[in-house]
């Protein structure tokens, strides 16, 4: 749900990073946090366990600049990936404007990816959204590891949209593809606003 | 996409700012702010210069969402008031018009009783303002495609690219 404030001329959009446990959602946010101009970002908040696993969410507010006289802010959230935190994942999807699915490219994580995408579809539905209509990007993360599935195999297993969703290869720990993914989803969200009229 | 769910217009925004400014004085509190349930800050008033209001808004919404989940688990619709007590400062959180969150931060210069009393009164006024906003939004939604003019209808790829340059 985009929040548009005509009085202070601001648009706020909510982007959620979704994906199986340890796929690199928080790493995406950390990279963005480290590489963004200090004036453009707020604090990175991580509600994590003592072992740095996300417990509730990570949150990073970003101020991107001005579009048509409106200050544009993106609020980036991650969900906890571990299966048993499903209730929290549902809550975080509330009011989402765009979703990035971070898939773990390692062959042995393919089942976890599929399970997480199916879970995303169910949880979006419970908040009244349909994956087919929501701005959505599929990020194939950890492409630098040796035991990865091919891009074609991953598309086949994880693509859920027709026409197919944009797919971006990434290595979040080194920053490859991180900003491309964010920019991709931001474009889709803002393009979605143009359809409002 | 349908018309956005919350659109804030100048008239209602000024009314809201007036109500929370008055609440801050009446409740003798440090900060009053209003957040929507998705964590977007709507308005803030008081000693906010050294306060990270964006993070506060997001965490408040997360807090309310988690508490809502707890409420439903035990068969309640919602817990409409949350109160956190600290050594110096306290936070009073309440839900207004079923969709926005009113947060009051206060210290020993005020008391929980006073805050609750004043919040109740301000909530009634905010309820009225939000009903007006929702009525306006509904009206515009009914007119989507006919008269509703989105200021973003003409966003170009260059506009979006320039955000990332």
Locate the domains of chain A by residue range.
Answer: 3-194
Residue B147 reports pLDDT greater than 60: no
Asked if ipTM goes beyond 0.85, one says no
Which chain B positions have a beta carbon within 8 Å of A56's beta carbon? 62, 66
Tell me which DSSP letter residue B127 carries: H
Q: Do B6 and A1 touch (CB under 8 A)?
A: yes
Predicted local confidence at residue B13, as pLDDT: 93
Mean local confidence (pLDDT), B112-130? 95
Chain B residue nearest residue A60, CA to CA: B55
A195 touches chain B (CB under 8 A): yes
The pLDDT tens digits for B25-43 are: 999 999 999 998 888 889 9
* Strands, E assignment, A90-194: 98-104, 136-141, 167-169
Which chain A positions have a beta carbon within 8 Å of B149's beta carbon? 197
A187 touches chain B (CB under 8 A): yes
Mark B37-68 as b/e (b = at least 16 C-beta within 10 Å). Answer: bbbbbbbbbbeeeeeebbbbbbbbbbbbbebb
Fold classification of A3-194 (topology level) = Rossmann fold (3.40.50)
| Closest CB from A3, A186, A195 relative to B36 | A3
Residue B78 reports pLDDT greater than 80: yes
CATH of B27-138, one of 3.30.450.30, 3.30.56.10, 3.40.30.10, 3.40.1280.10: 3.30.450.30
Which tokens belong to A8?
Answer: 């202070």
Predicted local confidence at residue A124, as pLDDT: 97
Cα separation values, B48 from A75, B30, B43, Å: 20, 9, 11
| Closest CB from B6, B10, B150 relative to A193 | B150
Residue B1 reports pLDDT greater than 50: no
Q: Chain B 57-86, CB below 8 Å of chain A: which residues?
A: 58-59, 62, 65-66, 68-69
Angle, alpha carbons A132-A98-A184 (nearest 5°): 100
| Domain ranges across chain B | 27-138
Predicted local confidence at residue A158, as pLDDT: 97
Report chain A's mean pLDDT, rounded to a whole number.
Answer: 92
Q: Do A68 and B159 touch (CB under 8 A)?
A: yes
Residue A197 reports pLDDT greater than 60: no
Chain B residue nearest residue A16, CA to CA: B38
CB contacts < 8 A, A to B, total: 139
Which tokens belong to A108?
Answer: 């042995």
Mean local confidence (pLDDT), B16-24? 96
| Closest CB from B59, B69, B163 relative to A45 | B59
Question: How far is the alpha carbon of B113 from chain A, nearest alpha carbon, in Å?
Answer: 31
A14 touches chain B (CB under 8 A): yes
Which chain A positions have a beta carbon within 8 Å of B9's beta carbon? 6-7
Tell me which DSSP letter residue A163 carries: S
Which tokens belong to A25?
Answer: 């959602």
Task: With beta carbons less than 8 A apart as the criterion, state whether B155 and A68 touch.
Answer: yes
Q: Do B8 and A3 touch (CB under 8 A)?
A: yes
Q: Do A91 and B148 touch (CB under 8 A)?
A: no
Point out which residues pair with B46 in neighbouring strands. Answer: B31
């Amino acid at each position: 749900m985009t929040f548009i404030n005509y009085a202070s001329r601001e648009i706020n959009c909510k982007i959620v990073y979704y994906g199986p446990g340890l796929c690199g959602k928080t790493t995406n946010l950390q990279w963005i946090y480290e590489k963004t101009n200090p004036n453009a970002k707020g604090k990175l908040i991580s509600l994590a366990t003592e072992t740095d696993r996300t417990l509730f969410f990570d949150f990073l507010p970003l101020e991107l600049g001005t579009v048509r006289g409106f200050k544009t802010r993106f609020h980036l959230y991650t969900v906890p990936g571990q299966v048993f935190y499903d209730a929290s994942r549902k809550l975080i999807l509330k009011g989402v404007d765009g979703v990035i699915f971070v898939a773990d490219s390692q062959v042995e994580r393919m089942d976890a990816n599929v399970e997480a995408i199916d879970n995303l579809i169910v949880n979006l539905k419970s908040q009244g959204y349909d994956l087919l209509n929501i701005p959505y990007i599929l990020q194939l993360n950890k492409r630098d590891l040796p035991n990865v599935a091919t891009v074609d195999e991953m598309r086949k297993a994880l693509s859920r949209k027709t026409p197919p969703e944009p797919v971006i290869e990434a290595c979040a720990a080194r920053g490859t593809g991180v900003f491309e993914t964010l920019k991709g989803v931001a474009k889709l969200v803002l393009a979605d606003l143009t359809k409002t009229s | 996409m349908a018309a956005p769910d919350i659109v804030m217009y100048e008239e209602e925004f000024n009314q809201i700012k007036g109500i929370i400014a008055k609440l801050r004085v009446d409740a003798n509190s440090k900060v009053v702010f209003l957040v929507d349930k998705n964590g977007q800050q709507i308005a803030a008033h008081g000693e906010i210069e050294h306060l990270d209001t964006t993070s506060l808004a997001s965490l408040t919404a997360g807090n309310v969402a988690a508490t809502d989940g707890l409420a439903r688990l035990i068969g309640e619709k919602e817990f409409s008031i949350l109160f956190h007590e600290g050594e110096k400062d306290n936070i009073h959180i309440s839900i207004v018009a079923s969709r926005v969150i009113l947060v009051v931060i206060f210290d020993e210069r005020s008391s929980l009783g006073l805050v609750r009393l004043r919040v109740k009164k301000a909530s009634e006024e905010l309820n009225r303002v939000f009903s007006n906003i929702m009525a306006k939004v509904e009206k515009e939604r009914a007119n989507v495609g006919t008269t509703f003019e989105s200021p973003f209808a003409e966003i170009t790829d260059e506009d979006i690219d320039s955000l990332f340059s």
